A and B are shown apart, each in its own frame.
Chain A
Amino acid sequence: MKQLSMKNRKSMTGFMFILPWVIGFLLFTAVPLSYSLYLSFQDVRITPAGIQTTFISFENYEYAFGMDALFTQKLLIFFREIVVSVPIIIVFSLIIALLLNQKVRFRMFFRTVFFLPVIIISGPVIHELMDQGVTSIPSIEEYAVFQTLLSSGEGFLAATVIYLMQNLIMILWFSGVQILIFLAALQKIDDKIYEAAKIDGASNWECFWKVTLPSLFPMIIVNLIYTIVTYSIFSLNPVIEHIQDNMFRTDTGFGYASALSWIYFLLITIILFISVLLISLRGRKKYA
């Protein structure tokens, strides 16, 4: 009996520790989340008497997809960017991590270099750098392939390639944290597994596919989520700019902006869900 009450007391203390978070979650996340969902079904007018709302059912959503051509266009751009960038970031950070996992000298120096962008990446700084055109690989535009693409710049594929060429460094700059996550995971793989594989006659190439990659598999999912989230909430993102523009416009206002942000939120969740599902299905088939 006494044991039980001790246990209860302890779990009460534990709850006290997380209480700030619980309050904060309700106050700054759960309530705002539901309130913005509520606003997204309303026509919101700001009057001197306060905020006035009228229920308009799905009109905001219909407007977003039916009338607001800019929004659907920007969603498409965002979607294209994420489909192109995320795999590049993951593969690039994996390669860099593999390189750094070799017995290289100055490893600390290189890690410092590759992590640097995480420190300085912010909307205005990137904006200035993009303005200067330094976000593309130096002098890449002189290459013939690129020029033919630019001149025939039509269609989805060409636009994608051009986007990629012009922003490659920026895309790579998103991979700082991911490199370190991969590197940490690589260093935790037991050397004995490699030795065993070597004795069985596996080449390095085979070792990579059959030992390294499966061991990294959980980290690939972690990095995938991290990349998609950080990429989609970065402030230069076209959709986010659009939401922000709409927030303070008098004719559309909070209601419409709420609807837009909810659409965006759902879209990100769907992208996250599908990509994690896809990669785990593939992973299970291969590595289990």
Chain B
Amino acid sequence: MTSFVAKIRRGNKTYYKNKSKKLLFGTHGSDGLMMKFIVYALLIGIGFVYLYPLIYMGSYSLKSLDDILNPLVNWIPSTLYLDNYQQALSVLNFLPTFGQTLYVTALPALIQTVVAAVVGYGFARFDFPIKRILFGLVLATFIIPPQVTMIPQYVFFNEIGILGSVMSFILPALFGQGINSAIFILIFYQFFKMLPQSLEEAAQLDGAGQARIFLTIAIPMAGPAIIISFLFSFVWYWNETYLASIYFGNAMTTLPLELQRFVATFEQMNQGGGEGGGSSINEGIKMAGTMLTILPLLIIYLITQKWFVEGVDRSGIAGE
């Protein structure tokens, strides 16, 4: 059987001689049809399991209560039912919340990116005493759980009166201590390290200062790193609920935070409404709410996924 398969392949025949040993792990030269089939089957199978929660979410969010209760309706709802989304939109107070989320996400992400670029450039292109120690500290900050520094920061922010405002996200980002700042500094470090020294020297001969070299030569070339850092920052700030709930308190809210109190808000609304009797929360509405929370991220990801995927490549952690 295996030798037959080997024959219809155009490749090198001796390659396939001890085919029986060629298991999944045969990274190179595993071109047999059987092998291909197994690879695709595995990828598709695992991919399905992987996406199963999302498919479930999408399907349930479109189901009416009848469909949910009806055991015959499995994946595809019998009718396109958008009421869940309507309810979820009002429970999440979608548009204002979305605007606020965007505000407390994009702004810190942008600042974090800018600062990481500056700091990464400093580490990559200059030599100064204790540079190695400082860079080691940058990486070390990655493993400190935010919980350890959070209480003092909370006290500190309270003192200077920036709790409940976006400043409590911006200020740490401005000084390179935002969410996962260490990773972004590392990305820029790797990126600026690769720039040829001669460029800098040429600019210096033309009389450009270090600041100008950074602004007019390094930054324009760092496009990919900037986009990657901004996108990752954006996503991580968006999904940060723990710090957000503590720093923002009741003053500001984000979509994930609203999702956290989804059921409570729903019940409150339906009691207050009085005549809204009969409508009680069900999986469909909850799934629609979850869907709406991640929808902006999904859209951004679908447009920019190339950058995300390449980002990990570019970060240079995978060796060089």
Contacts and interface: CB of A to CB of B under 8 A. Distances in A.
Contacts, number: 301
A268 B293 contact: no
A171 to B, nearest CB: 11
Interface residues of A, number: 101
B235 A119 contact: yes
Interface in A96-130: 96, 98-104, 108, 110-125, 127-129
A64 to B, nearest CB: 14
Interface in B258-286: 259-260, 262, 283, 286
B230 interface: no
Given A124-B257, A132-B283, A110 B47 contact: yes
Given A22-B134, A261-B145, A28 B177 contact: yes
Nearest to A272: B143
Contact of B309 (A14, A101, A115, A219): A115
A118 B304 CA distance: 14
B239 A122 contact: yes
A138 B151 contact: no
A67 interface: no
A87 interface: no
**Main secondary structure on chain B at its contact with chain A?**
helix
A101 B42 CA distance: 13
Contacts of A29: 141, 144, 149, 177
Interface in B119-172: 119, 121-123, 125-129, 131, 134, 137-138, 141-153, 155-156, 171-172
A25 B309 CA distance: 30
A95 B27 CA distance: 11
A102 B262 CA distance: 44
A86 interface: no
Interface string A13-39: 111111011111101110111011001
B177 A99 contact: no
Contacts of B239: 120-123, 125
A119 B308 contact: yes
Contacts of A82: none
A133 B43 CA distance: 23
B53 A18 contact: no
Contacts of B297: 119-120
B103 interface: no
Contacts of B60: 132
Interface of A: 10-18, 20-25, 27-29, 31-33, 35-36, 39, 51, 95-96, 98-104, 108, 110-125, 127-129, 131-132, 134-135, 137-138, 169, 172-173, 177, 180-181, 184-186, 188, 191, 194, 198, 203-205, 207-208, 212, 218-219, 222, 225, 229, 232-233, 235, 240, 243-244, 247, 254, 257-258, 261-262, 264-265, 268-269, 272
17 contacts: A17-B122, A18-B134, A24-B176, A25-B141, A29-B177, A32-B148, A102-B27, A111-B309, A119-B308, A122-B256, A169-B52, A181-B317, A205-B21, A205-B25, A240-B145, A254-B155, A264-B147
